[in-house]
Chains A and B, each alone.
Chain A
């Protein structure tokens, strides 16, 4: 079946550091790919998405490019802030009666001032 593998956490960085969180996937067909973020005490919210190969999703300074050849969708940000501390989930869509999402295990990110 389809699956998503994320870089293991937790990840701790200093403010203004460069961030990469790796995500690779296994899927049949051409799924859409997503990054969701969960801030402390909250539900998940969509951070960015890409619906086809070579698409780049971006939001709030975060970017990720859909790489079909390496089956990857790595999340990057050039300069992180304390407010970026959260859990990040990579996900892909698959169709089974409805489009549903398969999630990775999540990566906890902590940014120190």
Chain B
């Protein structure tokens, strides 16, 4: 089975802190994604990567950056956390299969005080 592992299930940070969310997948998938999930808004794409060191902005990249130094790992970085970044963050991966099926991690719930 594909496994996508997110390093932290729950985090509490203060405004202005730098936050790292880590994601690792074990199925040699080319593509990796970071989504944000908020009630009533569904999932919104923050950033994605289709290869090592490659990254593309999604629909809501402002206030976030990403890093993909190795194929299996995709990190989401909040340079200076703000309260409106309190949310559930979901990492996903996929192959280059044309259907686009995603495999998700369990999510990281971030609270910014």
Question: A interface vs B, CB < 8 Å?
Answer: 4, 6, 32, 34, 36, 41-46, 49, 51, 89, 93-106
Report the bound CA distance from A49 to B103 in whole Å.
Answer: 13
Main secondary structure of the interface of A (DSSP, over half): strand
Q: Are A93 and B106 in touch, CB under 8 angstroms?
A: no
Question: B interface vs A, CB < 8 Å?
Answer: 4, 30-31, 33, 35, 40-45, 48, 50, 54, 56, 58, 90, 92, 94, 96-107
On chain A, the residues within 8 Å of B54 by CB distance are 97
On chain A, the residues within 8 Å of B106 by CB distance are 41-43
Q: How far apart are A27's CB and chain B's nearest CB, in angstroms?
A: 12
On chain B, the residues within 8 Å of A105 by CB distance are 40-42
Q: Are B99 and A51 in touch, CB under 8 angstroms?
A: yes
Q: How far apart are B71's CB and chain A's nearest CB, in angstroms?
A: 14
Q: Are B102 and A101 in touch, CB under 8 angstroms?
A: yes
On chain A, the residues within 8 Å of B97 by CB distance are 99
Report the bound CA distance from A100 to B57 in whole Å.
Answer: 12
Given contacts A42-B106, A98-B48, A99-B31, are A49 and B43 in contact (CB under 8 A)? no
Q: Are B102 and A98 in touch, CB under 8 angstroms?
A: no
Given contacts A6-B42, A32-B98, A99-B98, 6 further A-B contacts (CB under 8 A): A43-B106, A97-B48, A98-B96, A99-B99, A100-B58, A102-B45
On chain A, the residues within 8 Å of B41 by CB distance are 105
Q: How far apart are A17's CB and chain B's nearest CB, in angstroms?
A: 24
Report the bound CA distance from A42 to B48 in whole Å.
Answer: 21
Q: Are B105 and A100 in touch, CB under 8 angstroms?
A: no
Given contacts A43-B106, A51-B99, A89-B42, are A96 and B90 in contact (CB under 8 A)? no
Report the bound CA distance from A41 to B109 in whole Å.
Answer: 10
Q: How far apart are A100's CB and chain B's nearest CB, in angstroms?
A: 6
Report the bound CA distance from A105 to B38 in whole Å.
Answer: 9
